[in-house]
Amino acid sequence: MSRSTPIPAADLSELASVRGLRAIVETTKPRITRLVTITSLVGFGMGALERYAAGHRWAFGELAVLVLGTTLGTALSAAGANALNQWMERDRDALMQRTSTRPLPEGRLTPSSVRTAGLALSLLGVLTLLVLAGVVPALVSLACVVLYVWVYTPSKPVTATSTLIGAVPGALPPLIGWSAVSAAPGLAPLVEPGALVLFAIMFVWQLPHFLAIGWMYREDYARGGYRVLPALERGEHRTAIAIGLTAPLLVALTLAPAWAMPGLLGPGYTAAALVTGGAFLMLCARLAAARRRDLARPVFIASIVHLPILLCAMVADGMAHALL
């Protein structure tokens, strides 16, 4: 904040209290922040393993600084973006059952304190990446914050394509980690095959994931004034088509890393991708065919199981090929 707009004393008092700090942490959506940080570290790990396999070696201190900067910077900027999202959506959150107990609708925090915390965390995260990880990771992080807060969030009450818009900042975190360890000059790390494949997987994974959430809570979203696909006219039919198209695409994309990073990934990763992807695809196909709301929850749960297994298999197979 500028000198002409100092932080109000009431905000500082609220943020300094134990109750206020706990509520602020809640506004950062810790589970989403954790997922964003993990996917950034997966990008870091795969990028580092690719360079290691090519013969590059880091000093321990250099690598430790990069890991710390990537982890802390990503987590802080993601936390700040989530807090700003809750600040912007506080009135709509109060109308929805699933979000009415958040700190702002319940009056446990003032809007200005959440805005202050969100801006501070976002700025601190980007600066941490700039100082400890590099210019490109900082720029990607800044793009995540801007797209999520000032493009995706305002679009949600306007158009159902907001799901596609929101999938972009959700898919960028692996590029934060990848670019932190890449040797390519300028913005070139962002278009390396491994980085592009990780971005594509994260982008498409979000579509059936969020469509399943929208199907589960479509009345709630309608009360909040959000134009999610399942809540629109003929929404179930259109959502079934969307899930039926994106789930097979996701399975195909999860096989692409073995092509993009052939020196790191082999049959072990491919087998894990086929097994977990096949199970997820069957659940999506069942939902698309039956179009029953009770089948949306298994798709949602499967999506949050499928992704960690896939990423763990990717890193494990990459380590086995690069280090053993």
Q: Same domain, yes or no, for 255 and 317?
A: yes
Evaluate whether residue 297 is within a structural domain: yes
Is the same domain home to 181 and 266?
Answer: no
| Entry pTM | 0.94
Identify the domain containing residue 280 by its residue range. 192-324
Same domain, 179 and 59: yes
* Per-residue model confidence as pLDDT tens digits over 220-274: 999 999 999 999 988 899 999 999 999 999 999 999 999 999 999 999 999 999 9
Phi (first) and psi of residue 228, to 5 degrees: -90, 150
Residues 261 and 170 in one domain: no
Q: Tell whether 223 and 165 lie within a shared domain.
A: no
Residue 2, in any domain of the structure: no
Residue 226 φ/ψ region, left for φ over 0, alpha for ψ in the -120 to 50 degree band, beta for the rest: beta
Q: Residue 182 belongs to a domain with what CATH number?
A: 1.10.357.140
Same domain for 128 and 107: yes
Residue-wise pLDDT tens digits, 96-119: 999 999 999 999 999 999 999 999
Q: How many domains does the chain have?
A: 2
Q: Tell whether 135 and 208 lie within a shared domain.
A: no
> Nearest Cα to 177, choosing from 26, 267, 60, 311?
311
Q: Within a domain: residue 6?
A: no
Summarised one tens digit per residue, pLDDT across range 17-67 is 778 899 999 999 999 999 999 999 999 999 999 999 999 999 999 999 999
* Statement to judge: residues 260 and 282 lie in one domain: yes
Cβ 153 vs Cβ 87: under 8 Å = no
In this structure, the answer to whether residues 77 and 180 fall within a common structural domain is yes
Per-residue pLDDT at 133 exceeds 60: yes
304 and 179 share one domain: no
Query: Are residues 239 and 178 both part of a single domain?
Result: no
Q: Which of 152, 186, 220 is the last residue of a domain?
A: 186
Q: What is the mean pLDDT of the chain?
A: 94
- 277 and 307 within one domain: yes
Residue at which a domain ends, from 169, 186, 203: 186
Gap between the Cα atoms of 228 and 80, Å rounded: 24
